[in-house]
Every structure is written in structure tokens, then in C-alpha cells.
Amino acid sequence: MTATSEFDTIAAVATPPGEGGISIIRVSGDDVFDVVEPLFKGKNLKNVKTHTINYGHIIDPETQSEVDEVMVSVMRAPKTYTREDVLEINCHGGLMATNEILQLVLSNGARLAEPGEFTKRAFLNGRIDLSQAEAVMDLIRAKTDKSMKVALNQLDGSLSRLIKNLRQDILEVLAQVEVNIDYPEYDDVETMTTKLLLEKAQEVKASIQQLLKTAKQGKVLREGLATAIVGRPNVGKSSLLNQLLNEDKAIVTDVAGTTRDVIEEYVNVAGVPLKLIDTAGIRKTDDTVEKIGVERSRKAIGAADLVLLVLDTSEPLTDGDRQLLADTADEKRIIILNKTDLPLKLDMTELQHLAGDTKLIKTSMLQNQGVSELQEEIAHLFFDEGIESGQGNVMVTNARHIGLLHQASKALDDVMTGIAAGMPVDLVQIDMTRCWNYLGEITGDSYQDELLDQLFSQFCVGK
């Protein structure tokens, strides 16, 4: 749509903040050479070949003092991330040098990039479509290898291709309908046209339903499965947490864009990213204040997609246990029977009665037993149909896409009820077109500016 030349030159640090071997300052736009050249002592960047990396120094043009020894990647449009001219200054890690160079670049004519603005340009310049841009974001945030695979698939455009094919099919049938309407003198045109529309609506709806089936798994992979570990004091919650964390070091993510600065802790269980709720409460060694414990675990249970309820088999059930069993009765839960290395004192008959058909897993955290069965069970609960059940591995993971697919499906329902009610073809056509538009919003073939702003602002700066 918009020509590249309308964009100003933007810059940002593309590497994560903090200490590191190198940092990269990415600069993109029409004026990158004019912005960077005066700061660079080395080859004349304007004359070097594209896609080369060039040694030199960044100098402060006012004082002529050296700021850092750098390598500058020169990538000329259009084969770049943004499809614009891009320079990437690789400097020594560390906040001081990085920030100083960024400041020089900014005072020399570039503007600080907004979060996701490089990717937004890649989209606006037609290099990627919207669902691919979203995949970039998912990749940055991917929490397990499976999440990564789904995002990679999307980045490679498999969802876009599927959606584009559906839209193409709809377009063809709409064109056919137009033709038929233009020749009303033929017999049976109305019947034929209706039949075409109905068949196509059913076909497209079936595809959309298929995609939506993958959405639940997709959402879990993308956002993590909110998991609460509950149980009365001393049953082994902290031990369980440690076992899970030992298997795979927890990934701590800083959730940007939320008002509170929440630190979320993730652990990878057989490819399922568990988002652990209130681990601080479990880590606290003095679980003695029973009342706080109860309130806390109620809150955690309320927020959870999955509850891991831990019981101690070396003691009889207590009222606390019974309360937790009742509080979690309606939740997706797994009951963990811990301390099986000690003599059994828990009344299994009563427990089985209270547990209903909840899966019971016997463990000894002390002897490292049963944890892998637990992990398998968690994976089972969420991926029982197999993780790759989508159409040709296409999985919908994104809440925005899911919403649009539902709307598209609803529009198809309207097509079908319209036909059943004997509505005129041109009205049915309108619903079919609505479906086509909703699908187009997924790939960004039809979009609104607010949507773009909202979407890209979720990226980190420099991407």
C-alpha cells in the first residue's frame, strides 16, 4: 500500500538490554546512510556492497572521540527485514556504549522506533502478512520447543496459505453468482446459484471448524497453562515444584504491556508450558499461617486451568484435605499422592470416593518417583488427540485469529439459514462477503489502523 519513501528512518537496540558479548543497534529507512555515515570511521558505507559487514569505529562527530569499535552490517532494500535500507551496528555489549551509539544515531536524524515498528514496516512494505507478523512475536515469546514449532509454521505462512485458499474459493463462488445473476433468463439460475453458495458455505465452514479445533491446544502452547499447586502445609508442594523446575529450568518472562509488572514463571512439561501460579506462596518456608494459605490457594485455584492437588499418604486425610478436594471438584485437576515411601495411613476408600474420576498419581518426591508419570499425565490431559492434529500441521494459536474464525463461521451460518429461509441470492451474497472479509482480517488483507497499532505495540522495541 504505502510507498516505502513515506517512512522516516528509525533506530533501536535490537538485542535484549543488559550485559552481553555484543549489542546490535538496528537502523532502517531511506536515510540510514546519511544518519550513520558521519558517525562511522572506516570504509565509506555508501560504497560497500550490500549484505556485507564492515569493520570500523563509531565516533562522536562533535568531539571526534572514539565511542566504540564496531562492525556495521549493510543491507540494502529490498532484501532486508523491513524491505528498506537497513544498517545494523554491532558494538560491544554493555549499556554504556550501546546507549551512547543509539543517542548519536538519534541525534543525527533517526527517530526511536516504537515497539514492533521494524516488523510493522515489514508488513506495510508487503514482505510478510499480518499472521506472520504475529508469528514473529510468538517466536520471541515461545516457551517450549512445541510453541516454537507452531510459531515457525505460522511464520512460514502455512496459516496464511490456508486462509488465502479459503478466501479464493469464496471469491470464485461469489464471481460465479454474479455471472448467474447477470443471466436471469436461464431457467433454474436461482436454484443453481443457491446450491453453489450452500455447498461452498458448508465446505468452508468445515475447514474453519477444523482450524478452531486446534485453537485450545494452540492457546495453551502460546500462553501457557495456568497451573496451581495446592495442598495443606508439609505435604510436599515445594518439593514438587523443585522437581518440576529441576527437569527444565524455569523460564521467567517479564510480561510487558500489563499494568502490574508481573513476573511469570514457566516450566516445560513434555512440551506443555505450565505457567505456575503463586510460586512465591509455595516457596515461603513458613506455611504455618494456615488462614493465609487457604485464601491464597482459593485464589490460585480460581485462576488456574489445571490444579495439582498434593496429599500426604503417610497421614490420614484432614479436614484441610477434604476442603481442598471439595474446592477443586469442578476444576481440571490431578491428585498427587505423595510420600509413598512412608507407610500408608491415608484411607484410600474415602479418597477414591472424594476424588471421583480424577486421575491419582502416586509419588515420592523424596525418592524422585512418579514425577515422570505426572508429567505424562499433564501432557495427556491437553494433547490427547496428538499435538499435530491440525490441517497439515496448521494450528491456530492467536486469540485474534480465533475470534475472527468464529465470526467467519457465524457469517456462514447466516448464509445457510438465509438459503433455508428462501432469502434472495443478493442478500445471501452479503453474508458470504462478510465471511470473506473476516478471513481477510486474519492475514491483514483487510485491516484497520487501530488494529495495527495495538498489535505491534505488543512487540519488544527493536523487533
Q: Which of 280, 366, 420, 430 lies at the binding interface for ligand GDP (CB under 6 A)?
A: 366
Cell numbers that stand for 259 in this block: 499494568
Residue with Cβ nearer Zn ion (177 or 274) = 274
Nearest distance in Å: CB 286, ligand GDP: 10
With contact defined as beta carbons under 8 Å apart, do 363 and 340 qualify? yes
Nearest distance in Å: CB 325, Zn ion: 19
Residue 233 interacts, among Zn ion, ligand GDP, none and using kind-specific CB cut-offs from 5 to 8 Å, with ligand GDP
144 is in an annotated binding site: no
236 is in an annotated binding site: yes
232 is in an annotated binding site: no
Q: Which of 199, 295, 341, 413 lies at the binding interface for ligand GDP (CB under 6 A)?
A: 341
Residue 398 interacts, among ligand GDP, Zn ion, none and using kind-specific CB cut-offs from 5 to 8 Å, with none
161 is in an annotated binding site: no
- Spatial CA neighbour of 147 closest among 242, 249, 266: 266
Contact flag: residue 287 with ligand GDP (CB under 6 A) = yes
Piece of 139-147, 178-186, 231-239, 321-329 that binds ligand GDP (CB under 6 A): 231-239
CA distance to 33, 263, 272, 371, per residue, from 250 (Å): 42, 12, 13, 16
With contact defined as beta carbons under 8 Å apart, do 414 and 431 qualify? yes
- Chain mean position to CA 102: 29
What lies within 8 Å, CB to CB, of 263 at 6+ separation is: 252, 253, 254, 255
Cα separation, 156 vs 161, in Å, equals 9
Cα separation, 377 vs 363, in Å, equals 13
Binding site for Zn ion (CB under 5 A): 238
Piece of 116-124, 233-241, 348-356, 443-451 that binds ligand GDP (CB under 6 A): 233-241
Q: How many residues bind ligand GDP (CB under 6 A)?
A: 17
Contact flag: residue 289 with ligand GDP (CB under 6 A) = no
Contact flag: residue 237 with ligand GDP (CB under 6 A) = yes
Residues within window 43-102 making contact with ligand GDP, judged by CB under 6 A: none
CA distance to 218, 412, 440, 452, per residue, from 448 (Å): 25, 23, 11, 7
Coil, strand or helix: which one is 227? Answer: strand
Contact flag: residue 228 with ligand GDP (CB under 6 A) = no
278 is in an annotated binding site: yes
Residue with Cβ nearer ligand GDP (140 or 344) = 344
Contact flag: residue 231 with ligand GDP (CB under 6 A) = yes
Contact flag: residue 321 with ligand GDP (CB under 6 A) = no
Cell numbers that stand for 127 in this block: 514482505
With contact defined as beta carbons under 8 Å apart, do 450 and 441 qualify? no
Residue with Cβ nearer Zn ion (286 or 330) = 286
411 is in an annotated binding site: no
Cell numbers that stand for 286 in this block: 513458613
Q: Which of 201, 235, 306, 408 lies at the binding interface for ligand GDP (CB under 6 A)?
A: 235
298 is in an annotated binding site: no
Contact flag: residue 339 with ligand GDP (CB under 6 A) = yes
88 is in an annotated binding site: yes
Alpha helices by DSSP H, 5-114: 32-36, 95-107
User: What is the 8-class DSSP label of residue 249?
Assistant: P
235 is in an annotated binding site: yes
Cell numbers that stand for 18 in this block: 543488559
Residue with Cβ nearer Zn ion (105 or 229) = 229
b/e for 170-206, b at 16 or more Cβ within 10 A? beebbeebeebeeeeeeeebeeebbebbbebbeebbe
Which is it for strands 306-312 and 225-230: parallel, antiparallel or unpaired?
Answer: parallel
261 is in an annotated binding site: no
Q: The cell 515469546 sits on which residue?
A: 141
Nearest distance in Å: CB 455, ligand GDP: 41
Residue numbers in the known binding site for K(+) are 234, 253, 255, 258
Give the residues lining the site for ligand GDP (CB under 6 A). Answer: 231, 233-239, 282, 287, 338-339, 341-342, 364-366
